[in-house]
Amino acid sequence: MNIILMGPPGAGKGTQADLIKANYPIPHISTGDMFRDAVSNGTEMGMEAKKYMDSGRLVPDEVTIGIVQDRLNAQDCNQGFLLDGFPRTVKQAEALDQVLAQLGKRVEAAINIDVPEDILVERMTGRISCKDCKTVYHLKFNAPAKEGVCDKCGGELVQRSDDQGETVKKRLEVYAEQTNPLIEYYQKQGNFYGIDGNRSSQEVFKDIEKVMGSL
């Protein structure tokens, strides 16, 4: 099963990726992991990406695609893969299709976890995490026993700067601008699946299982 997992910040994509990984024999591949592995392994594309990363510049699409191709060619992807965080644009999606065609593969399902914007804002602006052990809490849905103190280690709880009001809204705007054309791209291919993410994680996962069972 060759799966792409999509969804805005705060949609619960990480939780669903963990559930998929635990229940299906396919590797969960995130963009960040791919870059780190390519750099640490000293691959040609990894070294090229490092030049951009070290200077604070965005890694160009052609280098990113090369890293993706190397990763998807690895033996653990023989039974399929779960791509998380890539592609982000139609140009990247087209390049991914070309790479997969060379490998005799295709994207079988682009699964998008959809959550209303007001719910996303509520989820993200209420998130706090421990400075020490990184445990994540939510002021409304999963509050710590003592305000500002981590239940697990007693560390200080803080809010990430990118989970604050205006920053959250800007992140969601940028995501929508990038991703709406991508949704249309996969809808035209007939392999797009929209999942209602405004439910419990287990309910969302049941719908994802139905999609994966149909492939």
- Which residues are designated catalytic? 13, 88, 127, 160, 171
CA dist., res. 86 & res. 161, Å (int): 24
Burial 67-85 (b: 16+ CB within 10 A, else e): bbbbbbeeeebeebbbbbb
**Cis bond before residue 27 (omega within 30° of 0):** no
Cβ atoms 96, 31 nearer than 8 A? no
Sequence-ordered list of residues with C-beta below 8 angstroms from that of 157, at least 6 positions apart, any chain? 128, 129, 130, 131, 137, 144, 148, 149, 150
H or E element in which residue 29 lies:
strand 28-30
H or E element in which residue 130 lies:
strand 127-130
Lookup: tokens for 134: 């990184």
